[in-house]
Every structure is written in C-alpha cells, then in structure tokens.
Structure 1
Amino acid sequence: MKSNELLLDAFGRIHETVADALDGVDDRTLLRRPSGNGNSMAWLIWHLSRVEDAQLAAVAGLEQVWTSQGFVGRFHLPLPQRDTGYGHSSSQVDAVQAPPELLLDYYDAVHRQTVEFLQALGDGDFDRIVDTRWDPPVTLGVRLVSTIADCLQHVGQAAYARGLNPGHANG
C-alpha cells in the first residue's frame, strides 16, 4: 500500500463517520450542548470540516472550499470569513447553527478536495516542509496525520454527543 492510499483510507473513515453521525439527526440533538457548555454536534462537524478544509487547502496551494464553493454564504454565520473555530467562546459555539444537510454538503465538498489532492501525491511528497513556525519544521506527512487526528477526535465527540440524546444510539 502506498502512503497516499493509507491517508485516503484514514480521511475516508472520517467521511463515513461524519455521514453516520448526521444521518437522521434532529435539530434538537444537533444543537444540544452536553452538560450545557460542551460543543454541539453542529459546531463539532462544522469545526472539523473547517480544520480539514483550511489545513489541506494551505498545503495544496488551493482556495478553501468554504469560500471557493460559497459555503461561507450558505452558512450565514456571524463569524469572520476565515474562522475555523479555534478558541471559540461559548456564544460563538452557540452561533454555529446549520441543518444536517448543509453540514454534510460542506464536509462532502471538503472531502472531495482532500481526495483529489491526496490521489496526486507520491511517497516523496510527504517530506516537503509545509510549516517552518515549529521546531522541527512540519512536513506534509506530519500535517496530514495531525489533521486526521484532530478530525477523528471531533467526529468521535459528535457521535458521542448524538448518543447522549434518548432514541439515538451510538454505534
């Protein structure tokens, strides 16, 4: 198996889990904040989509799907255009409200761009330095793995939050 095939599998698992978490979810469940101050499913799915979008677009030299495909306008969030959710206050978490179909449409579009980028990579590409702000500098391979780790954590949290609602089993 080639490195990009392994990464495609990992990002594919995120995609499947996002779709499963959103399948048939109601608005109450989507917006419920565990313990009253945890992150809602809507925020978690939006945030992981924004993270993957921003990280992959940066290393691929592409415009973010958020802006290039008009999702920023479709979501109508009272947040800065490039916001990805890092450091959000409780009121900013509450501001992220969207129907499950829109959340899935956005993640699907992000995933398509991720797949197109990863399919074009060869094993020699993963050593390319993509961020010199760290010591040691971050390679493309490390950035992709850290993006996968972050997104998997958030989609797991979203699935957990869904399972906290009566009538929605966690798989």
Structure 2
Amino acid sequence: MSIPTDAELNTQSAALGQRLEQASLQLVTAESCSGGWIAKCMTDIAGSSAFFDCGMVVYSYEAKQRLLGVRAQTLEQFGAVSRETVLEMVSGALVNSGAGIAVAVTGIAGPGGGSPGKPVGSVWIGWKRRGGYARAELFQFEGDREAIRRQTVAAALRGIDAQL
C-alpha cells in the first residue's frame, strides 16, 4: 500500500464529506494511534460542520473507559489493540455523540510498543452506523510512525465511505 500524501488525504476527505452530507449523516471519530488525524482531515474541509459532529482522542485506558465506555475487563483481557476494544470504542462514540456514523481506530504506530503477537503497524479500525452493526478490520501497515498513521487515516476514510 502506498503512503497517502496530504493532497490525497484532502481529496479523499472532501469526497467523503460530500457523500456524508448527501446522506444527511454526521461523523464522530474515536482515535488512539491516529491522534485526531482523521478528525483533522475531515475538518480541513470548508463546511465540515454539515457532516462532522465531534472527535475524541483516547490514548489511555482511562480515556477509553471514561469517554467511550470501553469496559475495563475488555482492556485487561484483550488489550487496547484488539477487535473487542475497537468495537466497544466505535459503539461508545455513537452513544456519546449526535452522529449517525462512527469510526474508531486503535493500533501500534511505533517505533516501539510492538510484540510478536501485535507487531508495530497492527491497527484495528471499526465502523458503525447508528442502529446498525459494528464491523472491524485488522490492518498490518508498514513504514515509520507517520507512514503507519497516514495509511490508518486513508483506510479509516475508505471504510466510512463503504458504510454509506
């Protein structure tokens, strides 16, 4: 997978914003390893208040629990970078916002923090529409920290578009 440029992310975000607006949906983001980059890309688009509700950056276990309702048991049993955690994150984002569609990301952007079972570049992304079922996908991105985060943002945006 190629590393998306700022211009490519901007084009992708603008097109997604138009589709969200046409669908009368607002987006909420719950981001860990991307650090708010998805929200930044969406709000870089003029008129984003028509399709963007809010974004949360939740790095710590405590923030995931407090802001998104992720259960302590989930974090203890599966860890922050897991299917179970991202599904609770994306569901919690919808519960705690007025949005109609949500995306959540949690992963290991590096350079440290990886393990044999969860290497650097492991990123779980979850998507959910209000009233629908959450879905999650595991990605294995390569490159340095910025490259992993850029690929995460692009994949998250593509996944939102696929939910429309």
Question: TM-score band (shorter)?
Answer: 0.3 to 0.5
Q: Which has the higher helix share?
A: 1
Bigger relative contact order (CA 8 A; separation at least 6): 1
